[in-house]
Structure 1
């Protein structure tokens, strides 16, 4: 019924329990998951998870929080994205919350990922935090709308959501939507067109209520789906069908079998 559109199954908290985590997915009607890359050093682990499990897909990219590492170039990202289990480029984007100072290197890395996505014909997974204006500007300047993608773990305003939607992007809602103080995000979850909506865990982070504070896992995307369905006044089954269909439409290289 559900797809977790963004998780990190290769991170230690989940990797140590891989068999259990996949079994929990099945028990909670979570049929597929996208294991997202955050750096090239650990990318082989991401790919290996996807190769071991037919219902797990991979991405390739370098998160904006990773400083002082070898910068990916377009050719390398495109080469890695040719693997049949890789369905997206990212996660990439801008983060002005965790890092300060001269962040031009972050912006250049983001541009590299957008160019690679266009060259590889694979959608983008975009992270943005305290950097919405620059994120949208670079998306426009680099033609990100020509390939599309998803604004993952969305926490920005409705206005930012609307601009991203206009750029051919989907909006992905995480377990934050279950938090009492997430008033603005709840409104976004209500207002995003149903055919442009995804759900995710970003596990092992951001566990939804009733597991808040614990190690998150893909099975609990079912709680995200239930919360969004309630906000929108539709059945959980309808929300699950729509977000699953959206996932496979956006990540067209993924096979639902």
Structure 2
């Protein structure tokens, strides 16, 4: 992997690791002997049983941290907990994302737009990621190759939007892409060995996509394990100069 080419004992942080793709990354990276520490965040203990159950099996390697990405003070606290143990990170993958919850559902038309729901989309899908970029920067300020990846979505591509609808989700993912593209430029000056990228995972069989899988062809609905493997392959194939880019699960670049 790019970030392991010149690193023997890498430190990894998976944000939003209590379920779905985030939990899948944790499980796969725990099996990699080149990785020394896996830090994994969850929002609430009662929804993180599967993640927390891994701690006993991987004592010393897996460290779980409670953190709500919409609360900057919790981000600061989690980063400080990491900095007590290590002074650098080599891979961060932000897997936090919101598509639906309770009465919040993707809008099919303008008449369904609700300002509170829009703000909820932006807090979770956009603002949280750039706050992570802000507070994680000191842990990337080292001379070893590193990657800061955030899970985005092809539906956030303005150039690819042919169907309309899903206003809040589309716009919040487009904002995420702009935040991370802009952060990549600053990281390029502050920690030039770190690549900042956004990744489209494809439609993955998780709680997030489950209500919308009906019209997805079987060959285009990925298991969590397949998605994680594909995205780690994309990260592995990153090259210098790829920072600030938006990649699909197959390694192709997506339009903004």
Q: TM exceeds 0.5?
A: no
Q: TM-score, normalised by structure 1?
A: 0.38
Q: TM-score, normalised by structure 2?
A: 0.38
